[in-house]
Structure 1
Amino acid sequence: MQYASVADMVDRFGEPEMIQLTDTENLSAVQPERVQLKLDDAHALADGYLGRVYALPLKGCAKPVGGVGVVEYVAPPQLKRIVCDVARYYLYTDLAPESEVYRRFKVAASELQSIADGKSRLVCPWGGEPGDSASSGPAAGETYFEFAPRRIGRDVDEDYR
């Protein structure tokens, strides 16, 4: 599931900014492949955090569309915003720590960390859960070991003296 798209970036931050950040050849147009590359990086970062809590890939939120019972699975809105903020930050090459883009990136990273730590969670505004729990495997702080029984004879034991 794509959490955000090139169109989401343009809608959220405006076409002029996306052109400025991606158009190195003065074509006066957004270069979608450059935006998509940074979106892919932002998705990977988000999955790294979300994978601690949710089974990946996320199934998404069931958003009602059209008739009764017809739904479309979309990313939770807060995740779309987070991924857009991270991708926007990745598009910049030089930022001051006091810039809005940098601050939004830090907030997004903090939100992802909070979700991964279980202090907050992704919410579907239309009800339901955005994904299954990643509860399989060891719980936090637990470690499982598997040992195969092995016989140690005198010939092996002599080497340990």
Structure 2
Amino acid sequence: MSYATVADMVARFGALELIQLTDVDNIPPSTIDEARVGLKLEDASSFIDGYVGQVYRLPLQGCRKPLIPGQPVEYAMPPVLVRMACDVARYYLHDDLAPENEVYRRYKAVIAELDAIAMGKSMLSCPWGGSPGALVAADAQQGTDVHFDFSPRAVTDDTLRGFG
């Protein structure tokens, strides 16, 4: 599952940039290679899962949209993950970037945000409230009761007699 779509990429960066990055033939009419963009979006989502999966159980359920009477419940990915997936996929579409390039800086900013999420310094939030998924830490606090089993005490007054 990808956190973003080709349409999200077009909305953020424009069709012209995506054409320039994906249309290797450059024969008019130029078009976006949606398969290539989709592959990079999948790669970006897998990259993000490596961080987010340290805190949230995967796959994420998503953010529950406000209920419309008579309509089924709908879920959407947190907007921050959509943005991150687009920035990482855009970085993956470029072949060579200098560290001062905007695309590279945005990629590094995403890594910093993902590090904060993985370390518990930041949380994913939903625009309508709630959480996009269950926390991994919640797994440790749910389930069966914890039982302790101790061996008999080895040191007693009787075993210590004679030491002095």
Which residue matches 1:10? 10
Which residue matches 1:57? 59
In the alignment, is the contact (CA less than 8 A) between 2:2 and 2:41 conserved in 1?
no
In the alignment, is the contact (CA less than 8 A) between 1:3 and 1:74 conserved in 2?
no
Secondary structure at the counterpart of residue 110 of structure 1:
helix
Aligned length: 138
TM-score between the two structures when normalised by the length of structure 1: 0.80
Structure 1: which amino acid aligns with 2:10?
A: V
Distance 2:97 2:75 in 1: 35
Secondary structure at the counterpart of residue 64 of structure 1:
coil
Distance 2:127 2:56 in 1: 18
Distance 1:112 1:131 in 2: 16
Which residue matches 1:159? none
Distance 1:65 1:10 in 2: 28
CA RMSD of aligned residues (A): 1.8
1:13-69 deviation line (CA, Å, top 9, x unaligned): 000000000000224000000001111110000000011000000000012375477
Residue 12 and residue 58 in structure 1: after superposition, are their counterparts in 2 closer, same or farther (change >3 A)?
A: same
Distance 2:99 2:106 in 1: 10
Residue 122 and residue 68 in structure 1: after superposition, are their counterparts in 2 closer, same or farther (change >3 A)?
A: farther
Structure 1: which amino acid aligns with 2:41?
A: L
Secondary structure at the counterpart of residue 74 of structure 2:
strand
Tell me which stretches of 4 or more aligned residues in structure 1 moved more than 3 Å: 65-71
Larger Rg belongs to? 2
Secondary structure at the counterpart of residue 136 of structure 2:
coil
| Equivalent of residue 101 in structure 2, options 91, 99, 118 | 99
| Equivalent of residue 46 in structure 1, options 45, 48, 54 | 48
Structure 2: which amino acid aligns with 1:22?
A: T
Matches within 5 A, 1:150-161: none
Distance 2:89 2:15 in 1: 15
Distance 1:131 1:29 in 2: 36
Matches within 5 A, 1:131-146: 131-135=133-137, 136=139
Which runs of 5 or more structure 1 residues have no equivalent in the other structure? 138-161
Structure 2: which amino acid aligns with 1:14?
A: G
TM-score between the two structures when normalised by the length of structure 2: 0.79
Which residue matches 1:20? 20
In the alignment, is the contact (CA less than 8 A) between 1:123 and 1:130 conserved in 2?
yes
Which runs of 5 or more structure 2 residues have no equivalent in the other structure? 141-164
Distance 1:133 1:12 in 2: 30
1:87-111 deviation line (CA, Å, top 9, x unaligned): 0000000111101100000000110
Residue 23 and residue 131 in structure 1: after superposition, are their counterparts in 2 closer, same or farther (change >3 A)?
A: same
